[in-house]
């Protein structure tokens, strides 16, 4: 199931002021409500534990899916959505978290979800402008998000492996706010 159009329509509603987003929690719930109105015959669930889908928690990067979209009739795994709306700076750490979400979505697609999406909103220009060194290049300069990505701060002892190749492009929402949408899977 492809949700590109629905997610982009949602972001347009945010940009026009029809939907108000002020933190990650509001992003999750407003998008979920929007999708419920758009996707008839689908079940939209929030913070769904992966064990509900009979997946092994220990084998995955994360344990809960921000928004899970399934068939209301059959329970078929249609799409998974991970969301970020960083509000407290910590730019390189947040970017590493973005990569962790993308790796998690790859795992979900490999485990039977038809598609998956990573959606980030940012109103801090440091997420989409500045130097391109290290992890910044993936989110500021179009460097492909692929392979091993090392935690950029602290002891730098954590790595995320991304098997696919994705490009993070930022598009305007309103004012300084921009969004990045990455589709994982078909």
What's the pLDDT score for residue 119? 98
- Model confidence pLDDT, tens digit, residues 74-126: 999 999 999 999 998 789 999 999 999 999 999 999 999 999 999 999 999 99
**pTM score:** 0.95
What's the pLDDT score for residue 89? 78
All structural domains of the chain with their residue ranges? 4-185
Res. 186 pLDDT band, cuts 50 70 90: low
Partnered with residue 65 across adjacent β-strands are 48
DSSP 54: T
Phi then psi dihedrals of residue 3, to 5 deg: -115, 10
pLDDT more than 90, % of the chain: 90
């Amino acid at each position: 199931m492809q949700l590109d159009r629905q997610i982009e329509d949602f972001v347009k509603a945010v940009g026009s002021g029809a939907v108000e987003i002020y933190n990650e929690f509001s992003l999750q719930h407003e998008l979920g409500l929007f999708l419920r109105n758009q996707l008839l015959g689908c079940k939209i669930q929030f913070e769904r534990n992966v064990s509900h889908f009979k997946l092994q928690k220990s084998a995955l990067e994360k344990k809960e899916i921000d928004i899970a979209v399934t068939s209301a009739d059959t329970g078929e795994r249609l799409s998974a959505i991970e969301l970020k709306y960083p509000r407290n700076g910590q730019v390189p750490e947040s970017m590493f978290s973005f990569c962790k979400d993308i790796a998690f979505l790859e795992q979900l697609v490999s485990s039977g979800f038809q598609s998956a999406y990573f959606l980030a909103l940012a109103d801090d220009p440091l997420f989409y402008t500045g130097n391109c060194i290290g992890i910044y290049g993936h989110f500021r300069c179009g460097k492909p998000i692929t392979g091993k990505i090392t935690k950029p701060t602290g002891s730098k002892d954590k790595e995320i492996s991304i098997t696919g190749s994705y490009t993070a492009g930022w598009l305007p929402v309103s004012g300084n706010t921009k969004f990045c949408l990455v589709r994982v899977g078909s």
